Amino acid sequence: MSLRHALLGLLVDRSGSGYDLMKLFSTSLGNVWAATQSQLYGELNRLEAAGLIEVVAEGPRGRKEYALTGAGREELHRWLTEKEGEKPQRNEMLLQVFFLSQLTKEQSVEWLLHQADVAAGQLAALTRLDASIDWDGGPISLGGRLALEYGLRLRAMEEEWARWAAGQVIGPASPEGAAEAADTADGS
Amino acid sequence: MSLRHALLGLLVDRSGSGYDLMKLFSTSLGNVWAATQSQLYGELNRLEAAGLIEVVAEGPRGRKEYALTGAGREELHRWLTEKEGEKPQRNEMLLQVFFLSQLTKEQSVEWLLHQADVAAGQLAALTRLDASIDWDGGPISLGGRLALEYGLRLRAMEEEWARWAAGQVIGPASPEGAAEAADTADGS
DNA sequence: GAGGCCATGTAACATGTTACATGATTGT
DNA sequence: ACAATCATGTAACATGTTACATGGCCTC
């Protein structure tokens, strides 16, 4: 139930409407937590019913501007300090890796190099994002910087891993791969 | 809908009952894709209704042993070769990082070092797992090894990142942190 | 015959996705 | 007036979680 906490966190130091919050999910925050518009408005209503946020202003087009209540601030703090057990993990890419043997060696290598390219592309996108943000002393900026650095390290790791894995598939010594033996200069 | 594909993948080179498959999810495969017993039995029935698997034997206690059909094998292959757009990402730990400024510096550092310990523990667990598996020529073993290596690199990265992040929180130069200034020997 | 494992399932609920619906306001 | 953007919502469906229900088989 972390969408709830994402919303509380965003409302900590500025009030905003669902529409405002949506824009944050589509940009910076979307890199660590995704949410659809549909989900967001529903959750805002539930948060208000639970007394964790309240409407502090109403604007044109039915705009409702929300702010944290004391209870909301407490809940956010509780969530940040609790230690929880490990959550179930899911990584579709790794699931596919598990069953990579269903493909031919050539297909597997191609697949892994594609993953490397995807990771490289994500790394480039994060690098661009990094350059585009002015890291002045905003309140979210420390956390944002740390999260971004995680992303940079993660994608770099993924690219390296995928290229390494492609090498593993080809094999430390692949004697039967005669088709691609263009050069006979492999020593030792 | 990847639970479906996880089941297809597991049934590729050996038939098995829901109970058998459950055990795989609680051990090796559980590291990349989690599933509950409840979900699993439901999905098996749906897969059979869709003609992707079939009951090849019935045993005691209502045991039903499933095997892939041709259509199931095709679907698995399709899933492995399709290129899909990026899925919504969610990482609760990073979400918390985003809002770390709600804690004091001391609390933030403690929190980050705790994350480092968690990652280190996971790394140790994977290392133990690695040592316990005999990597003979099983059909799943190549994919399993690659996935495990990903996990090892990921957790190592996470630990390093968390320790680095703790350093960032303390600050490149923290003039007002007088309490911990035990040594005055910081050069430059 | 009793306890432990084998084996499958249902029900209630929470969370997330996709598509659609509705309309106000602003700028040109 | 027209389009773009602002703004909130509902409905149907898919996926995932937790708890409970039911009973057969095997070994000691």
- Per-residue pLDDT tens listing for chain A (188 residues): 899 999 999 999 999 999 999 999 999 899 999 999 999 999 999 999 999 999 999 999 999 999 999 999 999 999 999 998 889 999 999 999 999 999 999 999 999 999 999 999 999 999 999 998 877 766 568 999 999 999 999 999 999 999 999 999 997 665 654 555 444 444 44
Helix, strand, coil shares, percent, chain A, to 5:
60, 5, 30
DSSP string, A10-48: HTSSS-B-HHHHHHHHHTTGGGTB---HHHHHHHHHHHH
pLDDT at A31: 95
Q: Could you check: is the Cβ of residue B40 within 7 Å of any atom of nucleic acid strand C? A: no
pLDDT tens across B43-72, in order? 999 999 999 999 999 999 999 999 999 999
pLDDT tens across B95-116, in order? 999 999 999 999 999 999 999 9
Cβ of A169 under 8 Å from any chain B Cβ? yes
How would you class A143 by CB atoms within 10 Å of its CB: exposed for 0-12, middle for 13-18, buried for 19 or more?
Answer: buried
Return averaged pLDDT per consecutive 10 residues of chain B, 188 residues in all: 96 96 94 97 97 96 97 97 90 97 96 97 94 72 94 98 96 58 46
Chain A CB contacts of B150 under 8 Å are 94, 97, 158, 161, 165
CA distance A2 to A11: 14
- Tell me which residue in A29, A87, A94 faces B98 most closely, judged by beta carbons: A29
pTM for this structure? Answer: 0.89
Which residue reads 């420390």 in tokens?
A142
Mutate to test the interface with A, among B83, B101, B110, B160 (most CBs of A within 10 A): B101
- Inter-chain CB proximity A111 and B87 less than 8 Å: no
Cβ of B39 under 8 Å from any chain A Cβ? no
Sequence-ordered list of residues with C-beta below 8 angstroms from that of B149, at least 6 positions apart, any chain: A161, A164, A165
- Tell me which residue in A12, A146, A169 faces B165 most closely, judged by beta carbons: A146
Q: Give the total residue count for chain B.
A: 188
pLDDT at A175: 61
DSSP category for residue A86: P
CA of A60 to nearest chain B CA: how many angstroms apart? Answer: 30
Query: Which amino acid is residue B154, in one-letter code?
Result: L
Q: Could you check: is the Cβ of residue B49 within 7 Å of any atom of nucleic acid strand D? A: no
pLDDT at A111: 97
Residue A54's DSSP bridge partners are A67
pLDDT at A110: 97
Size of interface A-B (CB pairs under 8 A): 169
Angle at A180 between CA A176 and CA A183, to 5 degrees: 105
Cβ of B114 under 8 Å from any chain A Cβ? yes
